[in-house]
């Protein structure tokens, strides 16, 4: 079995932002040389997410509004912020949008359903973050 590990470096200009990382994951897969297997993509931070959905900007604004309704930003809203942080909302948003995705690799390609695209969702940005891409197979 072969394996390939790669770290994507992300630094969003905005505190809340959704980034299409599919091209970088496809690059990692090409570099791996793996034709059949599985590709794991996960955020390495507890205030950001990796998810799969449609590449449609209105939907992305809907996602950001939805998580803001469920876990609005607010320094005095969260017990976590008693530690001196202000990102209590970001931890909850991360859990809502998920940590990782796994995509099947078939014939050397990410075996997506129609319109599936991999996104990184940042909830406490403007600093350096990493995404792990791990591909295993033959
Ligand atoms: Zn925190």
Confidence band for 31, pLDDT divided at 50, 70 and 90: very high
**Span from the CA of 119 to the centroid of ligand 1 (angstroms):** 22
**Span from the CA of 53 to the centroid of ligand 1 (angstroms):** 26
What is the length of the chain?
138
Instruction: Return the HEC string of 46-98.
Output: CCEEEEEECCCHHHHHHHHHHHHHHCCCCCCCCHHHHHCCCCHHHHHHHHHHC
Two tokens, residue 55: 């590449």
Confidence band for 62, pLDDT divided at 50, 70 and 90: very high
Which pLDDT tens digit goes with each residue over 69-104? 999 999 999 999 999 999 999 999 999 999 999 999
- Domains of the chain as residue ranges with CATH: 2-137 (2.60.120.460)
Write the CB contacts of 58 (distance below 8 Å, at least 6 apart in sequence).
Answer: none
pLDDT at residue 89, as a whole number: 98
Half-sphere exposure of 38 (CA within 13 A, CB side): 4
Mapped onto helix, strand or coil, the DSSP state of residue 24 is: helix
pLDDT at residue 3, as a whole number: 98
**Span from the CA of 30 to the centroid of ligand 1 (angstroms):** 35
Give the percent of the chain with pLDDT over 90: 100
pLDDT at residue 105, as a whole number: 98
């Amino acid at each position: 079995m072969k394996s390939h590990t790669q770290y994507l470096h992300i630094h969003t200009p905005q505190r809340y932002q959704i980034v299409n990382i599919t091209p970088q994951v496809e690059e990692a897969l090409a570099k791996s040389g793996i034709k059949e297997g599985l590709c794991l993509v996960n955020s390495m931070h507890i205030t950001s997410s990796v998810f799969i959905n449609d590449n449609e900007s209105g939907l992305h604004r809907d996602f950001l509004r939805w998580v803001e309704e469920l876990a609005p930003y607010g320094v005095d809203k969260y017990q976590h912020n008693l530690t001196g942080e202000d990102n209590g909302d970001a931890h909850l948003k991360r859990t809502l949008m998920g940590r990782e995705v796994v995509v099947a690799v078939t014939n050397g390609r990410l075996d997506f359903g129609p319109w599936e695209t991999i996104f990184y969702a940042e909830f406490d940005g403007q600093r350096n973050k990493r995404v792990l891409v791990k591909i295993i197979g033959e």
